[in-house]
């Protein structure tokens, strides 16, 4: 019994010792550092939800990025090299995101576009920073800035900008002071809540009502009735498209007639469809990309988009298009640099895009203005 | 045995060498897989081993990662300090989530654990301290002297060691008293209570164990990903984990691990088609429960069975083992004549049915009492009242001087009441030896501290129990069947196993419910010998029996039941002559006169 | 006071949906002794079918609902047929089997209809009623009326029809039911079909109130199941009362605890169930001990 | 055979019920070992024996409720060997299970109507119902109560009434006296005698020998899964061997 035990122990020890000895010679995983070869295609990753609830955002972003890359490739690529877009599905799950961050690092991608969900991007950021892969995201949460990664860039404004512009319009321009808020406790809603409250506070305005709902709440009678009793002049919404639509629909049913105000989600067709077209009339929207008719560039973009994908362009596609353009410009100016050099090149890029004029600061934010529009006759038009 | 050791060694070496084959991404995948495997072991323990539905395992995992994240980033603790505190927190939450299991089972437990899991997710999504929906970034990497655990390769070895320990501990639990009791409770919680298993406390223990595994996995996760967010602990991931355990085979911890690895790999292979992966694993879950309830772990057994049926594999055709002779106990002096069991005016009503009506009887220490009566006259109900399965509608039950009316089955078992069941309630998935071992173990749930602090103590205790079991097997002539599943044994042998199991506790009072049902003549003779020997050690025996020959020859006194009442009480001869008894049985008092009455000792069979 | 009443009305409206979902749970439990964890996903399928018929084929809402109820009932039959070998054998395994079906149904919905979902316009165009400063949506009244009708019809079916009585008899004693000539398997299939039909009714009605997407089944299923248990599992009046109780509880916790409403709802539910495991109408219909 | 039109359930058509070589195994135990029996048309046959002798197993196997091996089951010219348990009632076999097994959560009248499940619920059914109520007046008094709230004796009457509702040509009864007081046993006996008088074929499985002897014309005695004695009820009621089997004396 004992001798067999000893023998077993000896075998085990040997089993342990062998790999340890091997490990001493060479650490496992010596495959890293196979830097981008200077020929062959330039590999860029697009990480976004291609499945799950956020997959429509992912699909739009993919189209925007694809459009930009196809334009460059048609024009001969960069330094004669074609650009290859690898598409990865994060399923809207941050853990999957962290896996993908490692995957694109190990497969030699030099830059990443996406994701549309701040939580996923935040989860990926430390790994991308360690791997020195610049990332241009479509998220807008102030939390992205708080990550303080020199490799993380935003292709649009943060909630702070959206809501500062909105507060300025509502309070300063329109002179509305009786403002009620209804926001959800999800990542997006919470960012909106904090940013808008801050912008109001800077103007000495306190919301007359501040209701928080859960991200999957369906009935808002309690919150909306409380708001109705306070007789606000405008109601700020911080929630995603569908939930915002439900809130507006129920508010109208409860006899609330005042306009709603919000950021990008309130400018989308999904919001209008869910709420009912009549119900969203007069909604005030703060967005860097109000519609495809905003400028000559956007008209051109929308036409190309329509021609390629046979559907109307919208904001997320435009954001990804801008972000990809910035990345490709930086690659061109830096002679296809990678790592820190590429990040520096992006930071130095000035680009007049669909969303406005990009010029990045140290926080990775490149644009600090949005436009105000209102929904009139079912269409989002720039406010006069 | 040698083969198994060699297999384990080969697997260990392969696992140790695995990183050399993996690139930096795949090693990360491997790290995540190991975490899921640890979680699956925990879920396997609570669901497969202890039989408690737990849909909050992912939430426990989340609690530990969040606790680690909050304690490191907000409170500034070091990683390992935070991890230790997180384990305490998750254990407390595990006990909390397990509390409903004291009151409810099955789907009730399912919805309540699911609800509590959602409540926890809701809390982390809201609480400022938990970072809301964006979660918490910047968890410091765990540090070990000289090893950089930010490196996924080194983290792999850390995980591998923890996983090895976790699996070994899990298997250790399953094979030692605690796990045996949990398996017994899963197979038949009623019978488990009757042999002294503290069922409610054991359910809590199962949840506690699951929470420890959830905690370990959660801490590792926090150290690996260094980021936590609510989505990771979603219901979808809970169902994925459940699928791993079901597909792998919930009753085998190794099966759970295999399931976890298989599904994780499948998910990775189908990473670009997550929806189809979902269809695939959902469908496999359905097919598994319908066609292979034991999962992947049960496949070898099923395959062997199939091959045998097709004639490709020879059946084991040695001579079937034979039931040995019973070795009588040493006789001790008969205890003083005192009342050991007093049933005082007990009534038991079920809705419209009055199963027992004002039953009063006394049983003297050291006697063999027969309880007879037509079907449905309330005999088994009386046993159920005495052994604590039912709480009587009225009346009291006294064991010696103790009022046991409201006692739970395990309390009664620990006070010296043992019983068998009319329809045999052996634990079907335990071997014969394990059936006895469950009953032999007298330690209380609190005695399980040894599992945490002094495992050699457990080991030694288990060895002692096994010696006792061997002695008991030998005494009852069951040695040849020690490792067989009870269901494979002849009926008469199963009956004997049940009596041996009841005797394992060295009871003062043994209740036998129709011990001779289904036995042939020779077996009945052996039974009567066994019962006499048991009595000769000072144990009081009460038996319900329809085999009147046995009752007449064995019992000193007989109590006759009819319609929930005691209609006669006396020596067998007296009772057999009593007109009300004859009427109750044959329905005809006239028949009692024209037949000569034999003396009890003459009766044979 | 006004907030209180308006909140109450809001809770009643979703409560009616929860009640319908709970009815399906309870019916299947009462007639088969089975908890169907895929019920929520069946609700989702019903919602998709109804909205698809309503939106893409431009059928009248009522007709779309009827078609959806029929189509979903068929899914119920399939689930029952696949899991039939486990009936009266292993309850917990069957429960896990239904979870597996739920996973498959959700994935199939994504494959067929996409992951994003769609909004369903309100089929009842008239303006909300005004009553003492309270506003009641006309569609809510329609939902309440349909839920009430469904409950009444169900009670009628169970109490006054041969099939209904037979179905309950099967759950109480499947052997005695066999002896009087009832085809137990067919009866169970019908029970499952009705349960799925009720789910489709709930799903179709909830579409215009909310939004139809593949994951909607999770929340509706869990809340509906909680409602059924709260009311007393297997009890028809219990399902109705439980549905409204969960709806109203939800509405009020949302009002008082804001973001933490779900936490409070489930804690309240757990405590209630711990104290009274048999629910409000605590009849012990099927005892598996 | 004469048909008594006043009786509740006697559409006796003169068919003999025959079983040959019935064997039942339960988890390794042979509960019934190749027994054969015949219930001649319009007659009642008793199957008695101590508990555990295999009577109930035999009856359940006859119904097809448990797996069995059997060479033949015939009812007149009809071969019932392959008929499923749920279809036995459609061939005129009524079954009163052991331990009553009424549908506890349904009202009494619903229980009775379910007995007629295989027939359309029409005027004829109402007539059968009235006949059952006539036979068991107490059931009519209790018709809206839940069956679970009835006493044991009432449940037994309900179980018999339910079986009669199908208008069986042969009634299989499993221990109708089980758990009943002597007075109730008398009531049940009276009912069985009345049914016997009406010419309904019956197979009565019983532990209560006296009840069986009085309710049947011939009897079989079972022990250890086999038929060990048979004869007319009158003969057997004076046979000491029966007593020995029962009381072990």
Comparing CB atoms, the residue among A52, A119, A130 nearest residue B229 is A119
Please check whether the domain covering D17-246 is classified as CATH 3.30.70.20: no
Evaluate whether A353 touches A322 at the Cβ level (below 8 Å). Answer: yes
Task: Report d(CA A149, CA A364) in Å as an integer.
Answer: 8
Question: How close is the nearest chain A Cα to the Cα of C250, in Å?
Answer: 9
Residue B513 has pLDDT above 90, yes or no: no
- Pair of tokens at residue D169: 């040509």
Q: How many domains does chain B have?
A: 2
Considering the domain architecture, whether residues B291 and B345 belong to the same structural domain is answered as: no
Last residue of a domain, one of B274, B302, B330: B302
Determine whether the interchain pair B231/A93 forms a contact, defined as Cβ–Cβ distance below 8 Å. yes
Q: Which of A243-247, A355-359, B314-318, B546-550 has the lowest mean pLDDT?
A: B314-318
**DSSP-based three-state secondary structure for A179:** strand
Instruction: Label residue A253 by pLDDT band (50, 70, 90).
Output: confident
- Contact between chain B and chain C (3 or more Cβ pairs less than 8 Å apart): yes
Residue A137: predicted pLDDT? 92
Evaluate whether B68 touches B80 at the Cβ level (below 8 Å). Answer: no
Question: How close is the nearest chain B Cα to the Cα of C257, in Å?
Answer: 11
Question: What CATH topology corresponds to C2-116+134-275?
Answer: ABC transporter involved in vitamin B12 uptake, BtuC (1.10.3470)
Determine whether the interchain pair C6/A221 forms a contact, defined as Cβ–Cβ distance below 8 Å. yes
Contacts B–C by Cβ distance under 8 A:
124
Residue A284: predicted pLDDT? 92
The chains found to touch B (3+ Cβ pairs under 8 angstroms) are A, C, D
Higher-confidence residue of C102 and B301: namely C102
Residue A198: predicted pLDDT? 92
- Pair of tokens at residue D230: 């048979």
Considering the domain architecture, whether residues B350 and B460 belong to the same structural domain is answered as: yes
Mean pLDDT to the nearest integer, C65-84: 88
Q: How many domains does chain A have?
A: 2
Last residue of a domain, one of B302, B321, B349: B302
Q: Does C158 touch chain D (CB under 8 A)?
A: no
The chains found to touch A (3+ Cβ pairs under 8 angstroms) are B, C
Q: Does D104 touch chain B (CB under 8 A)?
A: yes
Task: Report d(CA D213, CA D243) in Å as an integer.
Answer: 13
Residues from chain C that touch B284, judged by Cβ atoms under 8 A, are 100
Closest CA to C65 of C52, C78, C79: C52
Instruction: Label residue D7 by pLDDT band (50, 70, 90).
Output: very low
Determine whether the interchain pair C172/D106 forms a contact, defined as Cβ–Cβ distance below 8 Å. yes
Report the percentage of chain D scoring pLDDT > 70: 89
Closest CA to B410 of B121, B105, B194: B194
Evaluate whether B368 touches B509 at the Cβ level (below 8 Å). Answer: no
Q: Does C282 touch chain A (CB under 8 A)?
A: no
Considering the domain architecture, whether residues A178 and A247 belong to the same structural domain is answered as: yes
**DSSP-based three-state secondary structure for B350:** strand
Residue A100 lies in a domain: yes
Domain housing B121: 26-302
First vs last C-alpha separation in chain D: 42
Place of tokens 């009502």: A209
Considering the domain architecture, whether residues A203 and A139 belong to the same structural domain is answered as: no
DSSP letters of B559-577?
EEEETTEEEEEE-HHHHHH
Residue B245: predicted pLDDT? 87
| Helices and strands, counts by H and E, chain D | 10, 10
Beta pairing class for B143-144 and B136-137:
unpaired
Residue C143: how many CB atoms within 10 A of its CB?
A: 26
Residue D184: how many CB atoms within 10 A of its CB?
A: 19
Considering the domain architecture, whether residues A301 and A242 belong to the same structural domain is answered as: no
Determine whether the interchain pair A216/C252 forms a contact, defined as Cβ–Cβ distance below 8 Å. no
Beta pairing class for D78-79 and D226-232:
unpaired
Element at C258 (helix H, strand E): none
Q: Does A93 touch chain C (CB under 8 A)?
A: no
Considering the domain architecture, whether residues B453 and B566 belong to the same structural domain is answered as: yes
Question: How close is the nearest chain C Cα to the Cα of B572, in Å?
Answer: 36
- Pair of tokens at residue D225: 């899964």
Q: Does A255 touch chain C (CB under 8 A)?
A: yes
Considering the domain architecture, whether residues B255 and B351 belong to the same structural domain is answered as: no
Q: Please write the tens of the pLDDT for every residue from B36-61.
A: 999 999 999 998 888 888 888 898 99
- Contact between chain B and chain A (3 or more Cβ pairs less than 8 Å apart): yes
Determine whether the interchain pair B281/C103 forms a contact, defined as Cβ–Cβ distance below 8 Å. yes
Computed from CA positions of residues B307, B308, B314, B315, in that sequence, does the dihedral angle turn out positive or negative?
Answer: positive
The chains found to touch D (3+ Cβ pairs under 8 angstroms) are B, C
Evaluate whether B184 touches B190 at the Cβ level (below 8 Å). Answer: no
- Pair of tokens at residue B172: 């250790």
The radius of gyration of chain D's CA atoms, rounded to the nearest angstrom, is 17
Considering the domain architecture, whether residues B298 and B352 belong to the same structural domain is answered as: no
Determine whether the interchain pair B231/A190 forms a contact, defined as Cβ–Cβ distance below 8 Å. no
Determine whether the interchain pair B106/C97 forms a contact, defined as Cβ–Cβ distance below 8 Å. no
- Pair of tokens at residue A52: 């799950």
Instruction: Label residue B588 by pLDDT band (50, 70, 90).
Output: low
- Name the E strands within B124-277: 136-137, 143-144, 147-148, 227-228
Instruction: Label residue D28 by pLDDT band (50, 70, 90).
Output: low
Q: What is the CATH number of the domain that holds A213?
A: 3.40.50.2300
Task: Report d(CA A284, CA A278) in Å as an integer.
Answer: 14
Residue of chain D whose alpha carbon sits nearest to that of C167: D114
Q: Please write the tens of the pLDDT for every residue from A196-230.
A: 999 999 999 999 999 988 887 877 888 888 898 88
Residue A3 lies in a domain: no
> Burial, C61: exposed, middle or buried (Cβ in 10 Å; 0-12, 13-18, 19+)?
buried
Task: Report d(CA C31, CA C169) in Å as an integer.
Answer: 8
Evaluate whether B356 touches B559 at the Cβ level (below 8 Å). Answer: no
Residue of chain C whose alpha carbon sits nearest to that of D101: C176
Task: Report d(CA C174, CA C56) in Å as an integer.
Answer: 44
- Pair of tokens at residue A36: 């981008």
Determine whether the interchain pair D117/C182 forms a contact, defined as Cβ–Cβ distance below 8 Å. yes
Residue A26: predicted pLDDT? 46
Task: Report d(CA C226, CA C252) in Å as an integer.
Answer: 17
Determine whether the interchain pair C101/B286 forms a contact, defined as Cβ–Cβ distance below 8 Å. yes
Residue B255 lies in a domain: yes
Determine whether the interchain pair D88/C179 forms a contact, defined as Cβ–Cβ distance below 8 Å. yes
Helices (H), C232-279: 236-257, 261-275
- Pair of tokens at residue D139: 């059931």
Residues from chain C that touch A219, judged by Cβ atoms under 8 A, are 10-11, 13-14, 247, 250-251, 254
Determine whether the interchain pair B135/A123 forms a contact, defined as Cβ–Cβ distance below 8 Å. yes
Given strand A209-213, what is the order of strands in its sheet?
A209-213, A179-184, A234-238, A260-262, A284-287, A371-376, A379-382
Q: Does D115 touch chain C (CB under 8 A)?
A: yes
Determine whether the interchain pair B351/D104 forms a contact, defined as Cβ–Cβ distance below 8 Å. yes
Residue A260 has pLDDT above 90, yes or no: yes
**Eight-class DSSP state of A369:** -
Task: Report d(CA C10, CA A254) in Å as an integer.
Answer: 10
Report the percentage of chain B scoring pLDDT > 70: 93
Residue B523 lies in a domain: yes
- Name the E strands within chain D: 17-26, 29-39, 44-48, 72-75, 78-79, 93-96, 170-174, 201-206, 218-223, 226-232
Mean pLDDT to the nearest integer, B307-315: 70
Residue of chain A whose alpha carbon sits nearest to that of C131: A254
Q: Does C77 touch chain D (CB under 8 A)?
A: no
Question: How close is the nearest chain C Cα to the Cα of A187, in Å?
Answer: 13
Task: Report d(CA B464, CA B461) in Å as an integer.
Answer: 5
Residues from chain A that touch C116, judged by Cβ atoms under 8 A, are 53, 55-56, 270
Residue B351: predicted pLDDT? 67
Considering the domain architecture, whether residues A245 and A299 belong to the same structural domain is answered as: no
**DSSP-based three-state secondary structure for A301:** helix
Residue of chain C whose alpha carbon sits nearest to that of B294: C93
Q: Please write the tens of the pLDDT for every residue from D207-236.
A: 778 788 888 888 888 887 888 888 888 888
**DSSP-based three-state secondary structure for B219:** helix
Considering the domain architecture, whether residues A280 and A227 belong to the same structural domain is answered as: yes
Q: Does C86 touch chain B (CB under 8 A)?
A: yes
Residue B605 has pLDDT above 70, yes or no: no
Q: What angle do CA B560, B564, B565 make, to 5 degrees?
A: 55
Residue D10 has pLDDT above 70, yes or no: no
Instruction: Label residue C19 by pLDDT band (50, 70, 90).
Output: very high
For residue A350, say if its preceding peptide bond is cis, omega within 30 degrees of 0.
Answer: no
Mean pLDDT of chain B: 82
Residue A7 lies in a domain: no
Q: Please write the tens of the pLDDT for every residue from B2-13.
A: 777 888 888 888
Mean pLDDT to the nearest integer, A289-298: 83
Closest CA to B531 of B603, B572, B336, B545: B545
Residue A5: predicted pLDDT? 47
Residue B315 lies in a domain: no
Residues from chain C that touch A277, judged by Cβ atoms under 8 A, are none
Question: How close is the nearest chain B Cα to the Cα of C259, in Å?
Answer: 6
Considering the domain architecture, whether residues B104 and B217 belong to the same structural domain is answered as: yes
Determine whether the interchain pair B547/D181 forms a contact, defined as Cβ–Cβ distance below 8 Å. no
Considering the domain architecture, whether residues A98 and A214 belong to the same structural domain is answered as: no
Q: What is the CATH number of the domain that holds B345?
A: 3.40.50.300
Domain housing A262: 160-287
Q: Please write the tens of the pLDDT for every residue from D179-215.
A: 676 777 888 888 888 888 888 888 988 877 878 888 8
Determine whether the interchain pair C128/A270 forms a contact, defined as Cβ–Cβ distance below 8 Å. no
Determine whether the interchain pair C97/B103 forms a contact, defined as Cβ–Cβ distance below 8 Å. no
Instruction: Label residue A55 by pLDDT band (50, 70, 90).
Output: confident
Q: Does B499 touch chain C (CB under 8 A)?
A: no
Residue C101 has pLDDT above 80, yes or no: yes
**Eight-class DSSP state of B48:** I
User: Domain residue spans in chain C?
Assistant: 2-116+134-275
Residue A62: predicted pLDDT? 92
Residue A181 has pLDDT above 90, yes or no: yes
Comparing CB atoms, the residue among B549, B595, B603 nearest residue D240 is B595
Residue D3: predicted pLDDT? 38
Evaluate whether B307 touches B510 at the Cβ level (below 8 Å). Answer: no
Residue C286 has pLDDT above 60, yes or no: no
Site from B21, B134, B139, B164 to mutate, A interface, most A CB atoms within 10 angstroms? B134
Q: Please write the tens of the pLDDT for every residue from B102-141.
A: 777 767 788 888 888 888 888 887 777 877 777 787 788 8
Considering the domain architecture, whether residues A151 and A165 belong to the same structural domain is answered as: no
Report the percentage of chain A scoring pLDDT > 90: 28
- What percent of the residues of chain C are helix, what percent strand, and what percent coil, each to the nearest 5? 75, 5, 20
């Amino acid at each position: 019994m004992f001798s067999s035990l000893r023998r077993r122990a000896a075998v085990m020890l040997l089993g342990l010792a062998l790999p340890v000895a091997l490990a001493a010679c060479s650490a496992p995983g010596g495959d890293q550092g196979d830097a981008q070869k200077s020929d062959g295609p330039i590999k860029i990753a697009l990480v976004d939800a291609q499945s799950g609830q956020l997959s429509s955002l992912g699909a739009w972003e993919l189209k925007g990025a694809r459009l930009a890359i196809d334009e460059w490739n048609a024009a001969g690529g960069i330094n004669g090299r074609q650009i290859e877009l690898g598409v990865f599905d994060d399923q809207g799950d941050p853990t999957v995101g962290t896996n993908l961050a490692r995957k694109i690092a190990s497969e030699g991608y030099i830059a990443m576009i996406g994701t549309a969900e701040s939580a996923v991007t935040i989860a990926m950021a430390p790994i991308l920073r360690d791997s020195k892969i610049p990332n241009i995201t479509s998220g807008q949460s102030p939390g992205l800035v708080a990550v303080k990664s020199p490799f993380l860039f935003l292709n649009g404004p943060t909630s702070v900008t959206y809501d500062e512009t909105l507060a300025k319009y509502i309070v300063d321009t329109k002179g509305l002071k009786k403002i009620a808020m209804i926001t959800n406790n999800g990542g997006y809603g919470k960012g909106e809540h904090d940013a808008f409250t801050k912008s109001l506070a800077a103007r000495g305005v306190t919301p007359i009502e501040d209701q928080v709902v859960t991200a999957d709440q369906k009935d808002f009678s309690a919150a909306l009735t409380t708001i109705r009793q306070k007789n606000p002049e405008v109601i700020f919404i911080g929630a995603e498209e569908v939930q915002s639509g439900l809130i507006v629909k129920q508010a109208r049913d409860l006899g609330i007639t005042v306009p709603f105000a919000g950021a990008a989600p309130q400018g989308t067709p999904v919001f209008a469809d869910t709420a009912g077209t009549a119900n969203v009339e007069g909604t005030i929207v703060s967005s860097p990309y109000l519609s495809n008719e905003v400028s000559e560039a956007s008209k051109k973009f929308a036409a190309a988009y329509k021609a390629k994908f046979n559907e109307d362009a919208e904001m997320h596609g435009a954001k990804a298009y801008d972000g990809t353009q910035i990345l490709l410009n930086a690659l061109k100016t830096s002679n296809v640099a990678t790592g820190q050099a590429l990040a520096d090149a992006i930071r130095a890029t000035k680009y007049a895009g669909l969303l406005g004029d990009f010029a990045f600061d140290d926080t990775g934010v490149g644009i600090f203005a949005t436009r105000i529009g209102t929904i009139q006759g079912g269409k989002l038009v720039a406010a006069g | 045995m040698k083969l198994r050791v060699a297999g384990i060694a080969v697997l260990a070496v392969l696992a140790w060498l695995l990183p050399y084959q993996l690139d930096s991404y795949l090693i990360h995948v491997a790290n995540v897989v190991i975490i899921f495997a640890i979680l699956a072991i925990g879920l396997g323990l609570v669901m497969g081993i202890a039989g408690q539905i737990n849909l909050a395992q992912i939430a426990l995992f989340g609690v530990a990662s969040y606790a680690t994240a909050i304690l490191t980033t907000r409170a500034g603790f070091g990683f390992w300090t935070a991890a230790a505190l997180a384990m305490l927190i998750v254990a407390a939450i595990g006990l909390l989530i397990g509390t409903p299991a004291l009151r409810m089972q099955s789907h009730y437990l399912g919805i309540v654990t699911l609800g509590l899991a959602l409540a926890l997710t809701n809390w982390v999504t809201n609480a400022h301290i938990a970072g809301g929906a964006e979660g918490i970034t910047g968890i410091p990497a765990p540090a070990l002297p000289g090893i950089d655990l930010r490196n996924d390769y080194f983290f792999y070895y850390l995980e591998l060691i923890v996983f090895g320990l976790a699996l070994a501990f899990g298997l250790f639990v399953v094979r030692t008293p605690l796990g045996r009791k949990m398996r017994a409770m899963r197979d038949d919680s009623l019978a488990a209570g009757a042999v002294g298993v503290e069922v409610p406390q054991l359910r809590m223990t199962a949840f506690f164990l699951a929470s420890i595994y959830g905690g370990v996995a959660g801490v590792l996760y926090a150290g690996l990903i260094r980021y936590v967010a609510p989505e990771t602990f979603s219901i979808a991931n809970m169902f994925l984990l459940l699928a791993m355990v079901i597909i792998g085979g919930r009753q085998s911890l190794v099966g759970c691990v295999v399931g976890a690895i298989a599904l994780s790999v499948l998910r990775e292979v189908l990473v670009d088609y997550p929806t189809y992966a979902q269809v695939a694993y959902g469908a496999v879950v359905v097919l598994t429960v319908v066609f292979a309830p034991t999962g992947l772990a049960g496949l070898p057994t099923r395959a062997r069975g199939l091959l045998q049926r097709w004639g490709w594999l020879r059946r084991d055709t040695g001579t079937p083992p034979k039931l040995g002779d019973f070795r009588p106990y040493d006789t001790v002096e008969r205890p003083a004549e005192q009342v050991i069991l007093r049933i005082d005016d007990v009534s038991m009503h079920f809705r419209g049915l009055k199963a027992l009506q004002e039953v009063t009887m006394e049983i003297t220490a050291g006697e063999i009492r027969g309880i007879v009566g037509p079907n449905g006259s309330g005999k088994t109900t009386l046993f159920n009242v005495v052994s604590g399965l039912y709480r009587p509608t009225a009346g009291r039950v006294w064991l010696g001087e103790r009022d046991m009316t409201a006692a739970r089955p395990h309390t009664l078992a620990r006070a010296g009441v043992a019983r068998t069941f009319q329809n045999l309630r052996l634990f079907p998935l335990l071997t014969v030896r394990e059936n006895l071992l469950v009953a032999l173990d007298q330690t209380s749930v609190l005695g399980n501290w040894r599992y945490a602090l002094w495992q050699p103590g457990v080991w030694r205790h288990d060895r002692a129990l096994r010696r006792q079991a061997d002695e008991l097997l030998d005494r009852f002539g069951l040695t040849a069947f020690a490792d067989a599943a009870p269901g494979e044994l002849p009926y008469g042998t199963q009956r004997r196993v049940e009596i041996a199991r009841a005797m394992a506790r060295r009871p003062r009072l043994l209740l036998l419910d129709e011990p001779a049902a289904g036995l042939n003549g020779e077996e009945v003779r052996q039974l009567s010998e066994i019962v006499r020997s048991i009595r000769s050690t000072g144990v009081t025996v009460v038996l319900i029996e329809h085999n009147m020959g046995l009752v007449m020859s064995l019992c000193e006194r007989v109590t006759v039941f009819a319609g929930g009442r005691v209609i006669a009480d006396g020596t067998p001869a007296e009772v057999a002559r009593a007109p009300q008894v004859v009427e109750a049985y044959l329905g005809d008092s006239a028949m009692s006169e024209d037949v000569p009455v034999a003396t009890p000792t003459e009766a044979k069979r | 006071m006004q907030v209180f009443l308006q909140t109450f009305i809001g809770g009643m409206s979703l409560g009616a949906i929860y009640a319908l979902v709970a009815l399906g749970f309870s019916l299947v439990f009462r007639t088969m002794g089975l908890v169907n964890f895929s019920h929520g996903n069946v609700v989702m399928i019903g919602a998709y079918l109804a909205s698809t018929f309503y939106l893409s084929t431009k059928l009248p809402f009522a007709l779309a609902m009827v078609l959806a109820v029929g189509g979903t009932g068929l899914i119920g039959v399939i689930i029952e047929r696949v899991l039939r070998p486990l009936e009266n054998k292993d309850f917990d395994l069957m429960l896990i089997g239904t979870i597996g079906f739920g996973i498959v149904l959700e994935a199939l919905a994504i494959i067929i209809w996409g992951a994003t979902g769609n909004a369903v316009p309100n089929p009842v165009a008239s303006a909300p009623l005004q009553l003492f400063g309270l506003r009641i949506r006309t569609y809510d009244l329609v939902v309440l009326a349909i839920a009430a009708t469904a409950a009444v019809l169900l009670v009628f079916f169970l109490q006054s029809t041969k099939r209904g009585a037979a179905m309950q008899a099967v759950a109480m004693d499947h052997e005695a039911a066999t002896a009087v000539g009832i085809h137990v398997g067919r009866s169970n299939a019908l029970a499952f079909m009705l349960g799925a039909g009720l789910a489709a009714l709930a799903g179709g009605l909830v579409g215009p109130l909310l939004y139809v997407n593949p994951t909607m089944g999770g929340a509706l299923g869990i809340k509906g199941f909680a409602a059924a248990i709260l009311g007393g599992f297997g009890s028809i009046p219990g399902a109705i009362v439980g549905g409204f109780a969960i709806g109203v509880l939800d509405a009020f916790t949302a009002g008082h605890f804001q973001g933490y409403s779900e936490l409070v709802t489930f804690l309240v539910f757990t405590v209630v169930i711990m104290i009274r495991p048999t629910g409000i109408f605590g009849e012990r219909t099927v005892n598996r001990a | 055979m004469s048909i008594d039109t006043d009786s509740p359930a006697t559409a006796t058509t003169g068919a003999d019920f025959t079983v040959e070589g019935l064997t039942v195994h339960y988890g390794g135990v042979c509960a019934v070992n190749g027994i054969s029996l015949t219930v001649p048309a319009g007659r009642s046959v008793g199957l008695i024996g101590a508990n555990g002798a295999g009577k109930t197993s035999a009856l359940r196997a006859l119904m097809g409720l448990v797996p069995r091996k059997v060479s033949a089951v015939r009812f007149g010219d009809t071969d019932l060997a392959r008929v499923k348990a749920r279809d036995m009632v459609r061939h005129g076999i009524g079954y009163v299970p052991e331990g009553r097994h009424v549908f506890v959560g349904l009202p009494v009248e619903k229980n009775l109507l379910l007995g007629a499940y295989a027939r359309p619920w029409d005027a004829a059914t109402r007539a059968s119902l009235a006949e059952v109520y006539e036979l068991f007046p107490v059931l009519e008094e209790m018709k809206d109560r839940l069956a679970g709230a009835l006493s044991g004796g009432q449940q037994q009457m309900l179980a018999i009434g339910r079986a009669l509702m199908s208008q069986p040509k042969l009634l299989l009864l499993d221990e109708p006296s089980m758990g009943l007081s002597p007075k109730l046993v008398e009531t049940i006996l009276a009912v069985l005698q009345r049914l016997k008088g009406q010419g309904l074929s019956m197979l009565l499985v019983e532990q209560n020998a006296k009840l069986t002897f009085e309710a049947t014309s011939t009897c079989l005695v079972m022990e250890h899964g086999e038929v060990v004695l048979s004869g007319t009820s009158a003969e057997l009621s004076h046979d000491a061997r029966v007593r020995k089997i029962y009381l072990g004396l």
